[in-house]
């Protein structure tokens, strides 16, 4: 027959195990809830204003678990190389990164676009003018964009983008924009 001390210890252990079981079940529910938040069936909408052409666009580029091809075409057109009107294919991963950034910043303002797709000819011309333009820029692959966001301080935009760890993030305070790309994670600028 167990003594009183052992019985008390046994109840504590039982209580402890019950709490661990409840905690574990709570984690499972939390994981499921997180999975539902990131379920592909959620719509993803972006708004852009191209500062060079004056064109604006609000579009749902992802809906029902798939990318919306007409919306992607509209985004590709709006983010074209404004110097020669060449249209490139913007990487959907970049659009998703922009969507995540918009959500983190909790804004409904459009992204102001300084540069989206950049043709090889334009990139070569810009890289000859400035050593800040990469000769093999990800803009030429539709994997980079230069933006600002009305109502959001440029340094706050930069910090939020860094926290997402979605690729390269450059801060250009003199020109008042942030560069985002879906290349390797890195940062630069002041």
How open is the CA angle 151-157-158, to the nearest 5 degrees? Answer: 155
Q: What H or E segment, with its residue span, contains residue 174?
A: none
**Whole-angstrom distance between the N-terminal and C-terminal Cα of the chain?**
73
At 137 the pLDDT is: 86
pLDDT score of 154 more than 70: yes
The CA distances from residue 143 to 97, 102, 174, in Å, are 11, 17, 23
pLDDT in tens, 43-52: 999 999 999 9
Model-level pTM? 0.76
Q: At 133, list the tokens.
A: 């333009």
User: Helix, strand, or coil here: 173?
Assistant: coil
User: Helix, strand, or coil here: 45?
Assistant: strand
The CA distances from residue 133 to 12, 34, 123, 139, in Å, are 65, 39, 8, 10
User: What is the average per-residue pLDDT within 116-122?
Assistant: 94
User: What is the average per-residue pLDDT within 144-151?
Assistant: 96
pLDDT score of 15 more than 70: no
pLDDT in tens, 70-82: 999 999 999 999 9
The number of residues in the chain equals: 190
């Amino acid at each position: 027959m167990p003594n009183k001390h052992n019985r008390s210890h046994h109840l504590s252990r039982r209580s402890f195990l019950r709490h661990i079981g409840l905690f574990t079940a709570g984690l499972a529910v939390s994981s499921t809830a997180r999975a539902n938040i990131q379920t592909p069936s959620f719509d993803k909408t972006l708004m852009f204003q191209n500062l060079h052409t004056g064109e604006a666009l609000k579009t749902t580029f992802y809906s029902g678990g798939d990318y919306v091809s007409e919306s992607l075409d509209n985004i590709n057109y709006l983010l074209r190389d404004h110097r020669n009107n060449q249209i490139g294919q913007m990487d959907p991963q970049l659009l998703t990164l922009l969507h995540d950034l918009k959500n983190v910043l909790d804004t409904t303002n459009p992204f102001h676009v300084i540069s989206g797709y950049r043709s090889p000819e334009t990139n070569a011309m810009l890289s000859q003018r400035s050593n800040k333009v990469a000769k093999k820029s990800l803009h030429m692959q539709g994997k980079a964009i230069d933006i600002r966001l009305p109502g959001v301080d440029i340094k706050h935009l930069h910090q939020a983008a860094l926290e997402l760890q979605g690729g390269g993030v450059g801060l250009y305070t003199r020109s008042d924009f942030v560069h985002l790309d879906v290349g390797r994670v890195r940062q630069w600028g002041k």
